[in-house]
Amino acid sequence: MYAFVNPSSEWLTEHLKAYIRYHAPDVVFVDRVEDIPESAPMTFQYCDGWELNENFAVVNRTTGLINAYPNSDALARKDHLAAVVDYWTAKRPESILKSHVPQAVRLTLDYAEYVDEALMAADDLTLLSSLEENESKEGKDREWWILKPALVDCGAGIRLFSTIEELASNLELAEYEDDEDEDNTTSEDDEDEDEEEDESQESDSIEFEKADDSFTPSLSTPGLDSLDALITTSRPTTAAVAARTKKQKQLRAKRPQYIFKAGGRIPSAQMRAFVAQRYITAIAPLEHRKWHVRAYVLSIGRLKVHVYREMLCLLAGEDYQPPWENPSLKASLTNTALQDEDVVTSRDSMRDFWSAATPDDLFSPGQNGGQDGDNWKEDIFRQICAISGELFRAAAHTMADKFTTLDKCFELFALDFLIDDRGTAWLLEANETPAFYQQGVAGPISMRLMESVVCVAMEHLGLAHVGEARNSAVRKRMTEVLDETKGLGKSNITEIMAE
């Protein structure tokens, strides 16, 4: 077997190679995907996604696996995920997704002036009705909503709102251009004033994506310089950076540069696709801070889904207060990208789920169903397993064109779940190329996760040491929650074409 290992978190590279070698002692590792010979009988690729066209070309001609599906937008795009849940539960009201995914309304937002039209044009008028009813209510009695751009990660562009006016205030105003056919005359004074105004606006703008090639990842900005948020917390080696520089520049040239307006207003004319998700205020804070559970979900082939037992608790940077008392995103959102690196480490914002808290730390008597000890955690894990299996099944059946599952592919997702004050798990979103942090408990969890991912992948290829005690312990960390191999039937896709 020939293997190409180039993950976004490069500190995991040697660990991945070691465990691949454990299953396939004769494996030949290559530094470039081009070095895999045409005659290779079997291949395994774990790459960071920069050169998927070349990587998929290898998959076409060999037996093997690659750690990406051709398309998984049905899960990764927030608007498509909302559509999957809507389509699936419309005919299956008994589905667990109905009661464990917050209601979400898909929106196309242009400018602040056109919010009313956008709300009227939405597929669901629930949001419009809720915002209108909120006008006459006090903040604590309102239904609150969270606005999320469909395509942007790391917490960028997220806003809380409860009225139409608050929603509009988050968006930029329309920028009208003079019609040259109607008025071609502009005085030199006007041009000077316009240039000064443009320079002022540029200085007030907040750059979302930097074009600087010297980008250095950190916990406060834990992504490579792209909207795909290929997250890493270690500095790339000089050789690796040099090898990818040309490709990165080509990719950056194709992507829009998102510039937030003064005051943090969202450039909706560039983004356009949003979801408004019902914001859950009835939560159980951990050490006075909001938190969510990050579960790692492995989808392999066509289609088996596994949930990794070890999970992370991610805590907000500031003590929690409901949005009507404190609208600060650092208190209301648990995304570590919104926190400074020293805050993440000093306040221990990443915890191991199984040892993070006890019921007494979170719930009032009777709120968690009367469960004691770690039973409530087992219940949450069971909920997460059931939700995850149902979600992937729904995506594969309702939006197959945007969740293209193939036998030669696998992909690791991070699903984020909010736990309310009754111990109910709510699916917030799914993330491709999840963050692997090296700090604290997150580093060892990531390394053990990679062992289990490789184990399942080698099992899929028929290479895993099924009977060995070491392998069995690693395999048990993965809980299979879905086997839809027969349900989906045979795919008629024979080749993955490059863009």
DSSP 412-465: EEEEEEEEBTTS-EEEEEEESS-----STTHHHHHHHHHHHHHHHHHHHHT---
**pLDDT digit string (tens) for 288-331?**
899 999 999 999 999 999 999 999 999 988 889 899 988 777 78
* Rounded alpha-carbon distances, angstroms, from residue 126 to 276, 278, 360: 11, 10, 36
Between CA 141 and CA 163 the distance in angstroms is 12
**pLDDT digit string (tens) for 139-151?**
999 999 999 988 7
Model confidence at 492: pLDDT above 90: no
Between CA 179 and CA 175 the distance in angstroms is 13
**pLDDT digit string (tens) for 28-79?**
999 999 999 989 999 999 998 666 778 888 888 888 999 999 999 999 999 9
Residue 428 confidence (pLDDT): 95
Neighbours of 138 (CB within 10 A): 8
Q: pLDDT confidence of 411, banded at 50, 70, 90?
A: very high
Reported CATH class of domain 73-101+282-488: alpha beta
Measured in whole angstroms, the distance separating CA 292 from the mean position of its chain's CA atoms is 13
The contacts of residue 53 (CB under 8 Å, 6+ apart) are 498, 499
Written as one letter, the residue type at 271 is M
Identify whether the C-beta of residue 155 lies closer than 8 Å to the C-beta of residue 338.
yes
pTM of the model: 0.81
Angle subtended by helix axes 442-461 and 469-476, to nearest 10: 110
Residue 451 confidence (pLDDT): 96
Q: pLDDT confidence of 408, banded at 50, 70, 90?
A: very high
Give mean pLDDT, residues 401-417.
Answer: 95
Domain boundary assignment for the chain: 2-66, 73-101+282-488, 104-204+265-276
Answer with the residue of higher pLDDT: 280 or 233: 280
**pLDDT digit string (tens) for 243-301?**
555 554 454 444 444 455 555 666 665 668 899 999 999 998 998 899 999 999 999 99
Residue 208 confidence (pLDDT): 36
The pLDDT mean for the chain works out to: 81
Which run of H or E residues covers position 295? strand 289-300
Q: What is the DSSP letter of 206?
A: E
- Reduced to 3 states (helix: H, G, I; strand: E, B; else coil), residue 302 is coil
Model confidence at 205: pLDDT above 50: no
Q: Is the peptide bond before 303 cis (omega within 30 degrees of 0)?
A: yes
